[in-house]
Amino acid sequence: MIKNELTIIAAASTNNVIGLDNKLIWNIPKDLKRFKELTQGHNVIMGRKTFESLPNPLPNRVNIVVTRNTEYKYEGVIICKSIIEALEHCKDDSQTFILGGGEIYSQTINIVDKIELTRIFKDYNGDAYFPEIPTEKFKLVNEEIHELEGIENIRYSFLTYIKK
């Protein structure tokens, strides 16, 4: 029997911003590499806006898009009307990832088993937000601190939370 672990994966600033105008605000190569390593070979569930922010469906993953638009179609992508319907397609995957955006994170934060969060230690202006992590339900089990040096030095951490 496969244990199906449901995991949110996200990057958020200290003020919980995850994006602006349907784009990431920061470029952190180590974060993108980690994202790819963790999600490759798995199902990835995302909202329509998040999907449309990508240049193409993510390779080597089953891309599942949740949208209320019943006419929405994209070749090679599974389109679902709800998170529940999306999860029905994930029964054979040992770890399914929730990629966002803000609305999808809010709908799933109370049902996931794990949160893989890159916390960027800076406030940003944005229009999409990561929900507050319910600390009564999750405990921090790992933290890796990093710094990106460049035009602006960015401190960030890879945080892993698991359900208590």
Q: How does pLDDT run along the chain (164 residues), one tens digit per residue? A: 457 999 999 999 999 999 999 998 998 999 999 999 999 999 999 999 999 999 999 999 999 999 999 999 999 999 999 999 999 999 999 999 999 999 999 999 999 999 999 999 999 999 999 999 999 999 999 999 999 887 678 999 999 999 99
Tell me the CATH number at 142: 3.40.430.10
Whether residue 93 contacts residue 45, with contact meaning beta carbons closer than 8 Å, is answered with no
| Single pTM value for the model | 0.95
What is the side-by-side order of every strand in the sheet holding 5-13?
Answer: 78-80, 62-66, 43-47, 95-100, 5-13, 114-120, 154-163, 138-148
3-state secondary structure of 18: strand
* Total number of domains in the chain: 1
C-beta neighbour count of 162 within 10 angstroms:
16
Query: 17 lies in which domain range?
Result: 5-163
